[in-house]
Amino acid sequence: MNSYKLSEIAAMLQLNYQGATDPVISGAGSVTDAKPGEIVFAEKIEYLENMTGMPAALIVPMDFETDIPAIRCENPRAEFTKVLSYFAVPVDSVIPDGIHPTAVIDPGAIIESDVAIGPFCIIGDGTKIGSGTRLAGHVVIEPNCTIGCNSVFYSHVTIRERTIVGDNVILHSGVVIGSDGFGYHPSATGLVKIPQIGNVVIENDVEIGANSCVDRSTTGTTTVKSGVKLDNLVQIAHNVTVGEHTAISAQSGISGSCSIGKGVVIGGQSGCADHLVVGDGVQIAAKTAVTRDVEAGKTVIGFPEIEIKKGYRIFGLTRRLPELFKRVRDLENLLSKSDKSQE
Amino acid sequence: MNSYKLSEIAAMLQLNYQGATDPVISGAGSVTDAKPGEIVFAEKIEYLENMTGMPAALIVPMDFETDIPAIRCENPRAEFTKVLSYFAVPVDSVIPDGIHPTAVIDPGAIIESDVAIGPFCIIGDGTKIGSGTRLAGHVVIEPNCTIGCNSVFYSHVTIRERTIVGDNVILHSGVVIGSDGFGYHPSATGLVKIPQIGNVVIENDVEIGANSCVDRSTTGTTTVKSGVKLDNLVQIAHNVTVGEHTAISAQSGISGSCSIGKGVVIGGQSGCADHLVVGDGVQIAAKTAVTRDVEAGKTVIGFPEIEIKKGYRIFGLTRRLPELFKRVRDLENLLSKSDKSQE
Amino acid sequence: MNSYKLSEIAAMLQLNYQGATDPVISGAGSVTDAKPGEIVFAEKIEYLENMTGMPAALIVPMDFETDIPAIRCENPRAEFTKVLSYFAVPVDSVIPDGIHPTAVIDPGAIIESDVAIGPFCIIGDGTKIGSGTRLAGHVVIEPNCTIGCNSVFYSHVTIRERTIVGDNVILHSGVVIGSDGFGYHPSATGLVKIPQIGNVVIENDVEIGANSCVDRSTTGTTTVKSGVKLDNLVQIAHNVTVGEHTAISAQSGISGSCSIGKGVVIGGQSGCADHLVVGDGVQIAAKTAVTRDVEAGKTVIGFPEIEIKKGYRIFGLTRRLPELFKRVRDLENLLSKSDKSQE
């Protein structure tokens, strides 16, 4: 890993560092697990109280008091994100420059300059890969795909035919883009496969986690719009649109033909039934089963989904059912006595 | 893509087309997203009201009135499914004929004629592959498997040793068949692995979605019967049997030793606890947790599962718990007054 | 498969077998599906009542009465686990000795003696693999990893850079270790990726099922401790610790920064919200949504989680809501009459 003087880090961040000492920083950590030589960030003084280990330096708010050498700034979390990048393993050390001689590249593929292609990749006829894109080993891109610039695909990614992927897209290992949607037509002799002749478009700045799947549409296009982030093991079914900057956590699934808005946040293991419209800025709590359209800006939870404040209230009241049954029994007993006393 | 005159499409469907014009059809689309030159289907006139774009032609019921050139038929959806196949990318353009020279095929493997094997495939000793089957790149078939005819395995499929796969089976990218079942024996020093010495049988006409898993049995066989369709990211545990023509949606899981009947339909993210019997024709709503046997023909929903009409009623009443608590409180207040007034 | 005389199996188990006949045992099965020549175990005489087929021999408790040739012992299940191993396919027949000439091994990798490396594997610079470890085909181990001894990785496993894996670890096909955690920083222009500069440590005797994912931490280490068993399609997020001998069933997910204790058992499709502490010995029922810390030794179920006895009671009472609404209505009617009668 790299190391820097604290003053150098401040300069890279275009911030000031004024301290008695200028420690060498050899990594970045967290207040709960800081190792010697690391820089950590803290937004509140309380965070330091639980600190184990002793970091070499802090990134803190302007008015934060501490004896530890510290860079002060308006937004410690955002600055720390930049600092993390100074210590990250550069992608070209994991996916080195050049085209590995074992890659099987169709003569009809168009590979721009500065594309890195790892061992055992397969690139199909008519597929175009933009400048600066890096493919780790074992990436398969079927024919007639268009891949943008400066994207990174890790090992064992599959891109099926006619998929379009934008710039600065990160696909983690095992991702499958453009597999057939799940569509069958019932018949007397069983389920007849509906050919899935559409495709998938992944726009710019998308990141998709390991072993996630985005299915091609029956007709038309399954679209994952710019800036979308999908976690691991996520399922996006055929004919879905996921709006800009939406984030979907692990093991969630979006059923066929859903339209998910912009800036939506979906917790883990959630699901949307098919053909739903989820508005911009919606938040869906983890493990929620969305069964109806959700209006823009709403937050929902539960199975089936309900507005979150109502949901929490109902979760609480459900737990009080033993008490409620007893209270009703008590009322019944009282009335039964009352009835008798009036006889 | 191919293109056809509308009259040619009608002839391929063995249907009549009689219209003033005979447009060239260059693709198939949907009423909600039709592009010029596309053919779409509509079962009801209302579907055309929301139509965006303008298709070149329709497939519609016999008595359907429209000015757009149209093929009329008894079952537009079924005919459209056939039309989709006319525009599908042929599998041999994605998985071309022949055995790629980079494939590592054990001399003890038996490969019938007309098998297509892509780059970097591995075929183990004693494995037999039937005529017409196509393997995309990076498919691994371990020793002593038997693969039928005219099956298609996409990239990065793994078939573990002694698996049997039938004819006309489609396995999408990242599918793992025959991995060890999840079985351990508790001991003083931790969990002891129970060897999983059984195997998996995938019968004819099965399709399995991307990154789904079917585990080998402890002893005996995990069986996926003819015509079963599994979506992406589905888990079939050891010793399970899935009956003919059953369809299981994405991210659902069937626990060990379950017997799932014929023609069962399972929604996404559902789960069955182990050792259950789910009868023929059962329907399981999405996200349901099946915890007991389900009789043939039933439809269930919920956590734990309940008959669907009762389930919807209970979902509705659960949402009215705030009201019910208030009504009980009101009764208590009334009786408390009433008690006092009688004192 | 191998075959043994029953007396030989008894000797291998260091148990006695005294019977009139000494059948040849050619496999191991179960009482519900025993084939000729197989040995099965039965802990209770009732298990034999449902027996279909006729096994050649049994493993049974000491006092068990049967006419079938039987090995008697204190713990039939544990002994049967050993017997299964006598009939298992040896790993070296699936992953043969030696380093396949197609493997791409960086000159800076350190491969100890007796490591088996299958076709098309990729081993990065600075990665060290311990003696006796076996990699099936298509395994990718990125730079600067340390892999212990006698571990087995099946095909299409990906190990990202700087991961540490212990001894006797089994990783099934499609497993991804060390992919980036799901962390973003909101900004005016969308979600900014937080570099994930930590790593993953998988300790000894861990087994991870097909297509499961363990993400690298933001900083520090995501840790899967000794003896942990993860089923297929499991998600372990960044900065999580999973304690010794914990077992997590298929399609479950542990969100970021959770600390899961030792000996925890988690049913399928369960999830833990982020930053939770789950104590030692906790049991989490299938499909549970854990939203708060769980004390050591507790068993929980539900969405959100609740102590299991209370949970079952509430499931039962929830189903009786139609009755409760009716009882409250009856009370209201009675009081309404009562009120009137007092006017």
Q: Kindly state the tokens that stand for C207.
A: 């087994």
Average pLDDT for C123-143: 98
Task: Answer yes or no: is pLDDT of A158 > 60.
Answer: yes
Q: Buried (b) or exposed (e) across A206-223, using 16+ Cβ within 10 A?
A: bbbbbbbbbbbbbbbbbb
Q: How many CB atoms lie within 10 A of CB A187?
A: 12
- Which CATH superfamily is C4-88 part of? MurE/MurF, N-terminal domain (3.40.1390.10)
The residue of C134, C173, C284 whose CB has the most chain B CBs within 10 angstroms, and thus the best one to mutate to test that interface, is C173
Q: Kindly state the tokens that stand for C183.
A: 């962390």
Work out the percent of chain B whose per-residue pLDDT is above 90.
Answer: 90
Residues of B within 8 A of C102 (CB-CB) are 102, 104
pLDDT digits (tens, 9 = 90+) for B38-67: 999 998 888 888 777 789 999 999 999 899
pLDDT confidence of residue A53? 77
pLDDT band per the 50, 70, 90 thresholds, residue B1: low
Q: How far apart are CA C148 and CA C128, in angstroms?
A: 8
The residue of A25, A35, A38, A84 whose CB has the most chain C CBs within 10 angstroms, and thus the best one to mutate to test that interface, is A84
Average pLDDT for C241-245: 98
C: neighbours with 3+ CB pairs under 8 Å?
A, B
* Number of Cβ pairs < 8 A linking chain A and chain B: 194
- C-alpha torsion angle, residues A166, A169, A172, A174 (rounded to 10): 0
Task: Answer yes or no: is pLDDT of A71 > 90.
Answer: yes
What values do phi and psi take at C5, rounded to 5?
A: -70, 150
pLDDT digits (tens, 9 = 90+) for C53-95: 789 999 999 999 899 999 999 999 999 999 999 999 999 999 9
Q: Which CATH number fits domain B94-309: 2.70.70.10, 1.10.1040.10, 3.30.830.10, 2.160.10.10?
A: 2.160.10.10
Strand C152-153 and strand C235-236: pairing? Answer: unpaired
pLDDT confidence of residue A342? 57
Domain locations in chain A as residue ranges = 4-88, 95-309, 310-342
Q: Pick the catalytic residue: A138, A172, A238, A245?
A: A238
Residues of B carrying an active site annotation:
238
In which order are the strands placed within the sheet that holds B229-230? B116-117, B134-135, B152-153, B170-171, B207-208, B229-230, B247-248, B265-266, B283-284, B299-301, B306-307
Task: Answer yes or no: is pLDDT of C190 > 90.
Answer: yes
pLDDT confidence of residue A301? 98
pLDDT digits (tens, 9 = 90+) for C283-328: 999 999 999 999 999 999 999 999 999 999 999 999 999 999 999 9
Q: How far is B151 from chain A (nearest CA, A)?
A: 14
Average pLDDT for A136-156: 98
Q: What is the CATH number of domain C95-309?
A: 2.160.10.10
Residues 6+ apart with CB under 8 A from C284: C264, C265, C266, C267, C270, C272, C278, C290, C294, C299, C300, C301, C305
The beta-carbon neighbor of B332 closest among A213, A273, A331 is A331
Task: Answer yes or no: is pLDDT of C216 > 90.
Answer: yes
- Under 8 Å between Cβ of C221 and C201: yes
- Report the residue of chain C nearest B213, measured CA to CA: C210
Q: How far is A185 from chain B (nearest CA, A)?
A: 7
pLDDT confidence of residue C233? 98
Q: How far apart are CA C234 and CA C210, in angstroms?
A: 9
The answer to whether the A4-88 and A95-309 domains have the same CATH topology is no
- Under 8 Å between Cβ of B58 and B17: no
Mean pLDDT of chain A: 95
